[in-house]
């Protein structure tokens, strides 16, 4: 491990805005492995506003936040909300946590954990909305996609009724898959475009009036990179209110959408959580 990474990991321990629980605290290994993932609740679950932010403002998650630039930018623009960036890579989270600390941003926190463990950290109705920004499309592993029925079930356990999932991605595959999941399960699609920055009037009026800086002006490193290369950015927003188990999409042509992804899908992939 390089000296720079060791330095960042050591400094991470000093940031009060960064929570880095050991996986053993939440991973329950006492049950039958065939029953799937079993988790213990972390002590922060249901207590983020009281113990981290000391207010009752809405909580917004960014899952797969990388260096946290999206989370940081949102927090500056919207002080009336609390923002939590989640990623597994400590060296990346260092940048966001250091910025939040140096600038004394009161409404920012970061959580280092696998997104598969996310329900161990948030209680029912504790989160108002979720941003998925340039997530790995997981072309060959449906259950690893952050908009799969498996993950939607996890989000439902802590997202408030009417809470929104925002998906911003350059992957047409992931966009179409996520839309197919929403349609299959009768979820309310609030907005959908395959070319965000040239979307014109594709959004319903009631949706367009609520689309502001967080959608067009706040950009991740990967978004800026893909825009500079001429690639289109897609956007999808939907609620996950649904009774009963989530179903896998029955009419999604994965082979077709996989075939049009292009070689860049494999050339700029930094992690399983964010590209």
Going from the N-terminus, what domains does the chain have, and what CATH number goes with each? 3-267 (3.40.50.150)
Q: Which residues of the chain have pLDDT under 70?
A: 1, 31-35, 199-214, 262-275
Name the pTM for this structure.
0.90
- CA 22 distance to own-chain centroid: 21
Check residue 1 and give its pLDDT: 64
Cα radius of gyration (the chain): 18
CA 201 to chain CA centroid, Å, is: 26
Q: Where are the alpha helices (DSSP H) in 21-113?
A: 69-77, 90-102
Q: What is the pLDDT of residue 29?
A: 79
pLDDT value of position 203:
56
- d(CA 22, CA 42) in angstroms, rounded, equals 10
The per-residue pLDDT for 31 is 66
State the catalytic residue, choosing from 22, 28, 32, 136.
136
Q: Which helix (H) or strand (E) holds 155?
A: helix 149-156
pLDDT for the residue numbered 201: 47
How much is the pLDDT for 263? 61
pLDDT of residue 271: 41
Q: Is 32 a catalytic residue?
A: no
pLDDT at 272: 38
pLDDT recorded at residue 82 = 98
In angstroms, the CA 156 to CA 185 distance is 13
Handedness of CA 149, 74, 51, 8 (dihedral sign): positive
Q: What is the pLDDT of residue 229?
A: 87
């Amino acid at each position: 491990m390089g000296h720079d990474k060791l330095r960042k990991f050591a400094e991470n321990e000093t940031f009060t805005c960064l929570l880095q629980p050991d996986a053993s605290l939440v991973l329950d290994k006492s049950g039958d492995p065939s029953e799937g993932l079993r988790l213990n609740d972390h002590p922060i679950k249901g207590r983020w506003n009281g113990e981290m932010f000391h207010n009752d403002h809405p909580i917004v998650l960014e899952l797969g936040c990388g260096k946290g630039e999206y989370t940081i930018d949102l927090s500056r623009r919207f002080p009336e909300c609390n923002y939590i960036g989640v990623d597994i890579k400590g060296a990346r989270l260092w940048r966001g946590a250091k910025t939040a600390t140096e600038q004394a941003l009161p409404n920012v926190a970061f959580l280092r954990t696998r997104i598969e463990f996310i329900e161990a950290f948030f209680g029912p109705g504790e989160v108002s909305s979720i941003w998925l920004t340039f997530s790995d499309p997981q072309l060959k592993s449906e259950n690893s996609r952050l908009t799969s029925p498996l993950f939607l079930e996890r989000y439902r356990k802590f997202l408030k009724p009417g809470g929104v999932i925002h998906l911003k991605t350059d992957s047409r595959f992931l966009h179409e898959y996520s839309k197919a999941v929403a349609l299959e399960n009768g979820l309310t699609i609030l907005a959908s475009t395959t070319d965000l920055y040239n979307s014109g009037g594709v959004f319903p009026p009631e949706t367009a009036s609520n689309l502001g800086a967080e959608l067009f002006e706040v950009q991740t490193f990967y978004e800026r990179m893909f825009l500079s290369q001429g690639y289109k950015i897609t956007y999808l927003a939907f609620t996950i209110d649904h009774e009963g188990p989530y179903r896998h999409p029955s009419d999604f042509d994965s082979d077709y959408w996989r075939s049009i992804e292009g070689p860049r899908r494999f050339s700029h992939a930094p992690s399983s959580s964010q590209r």
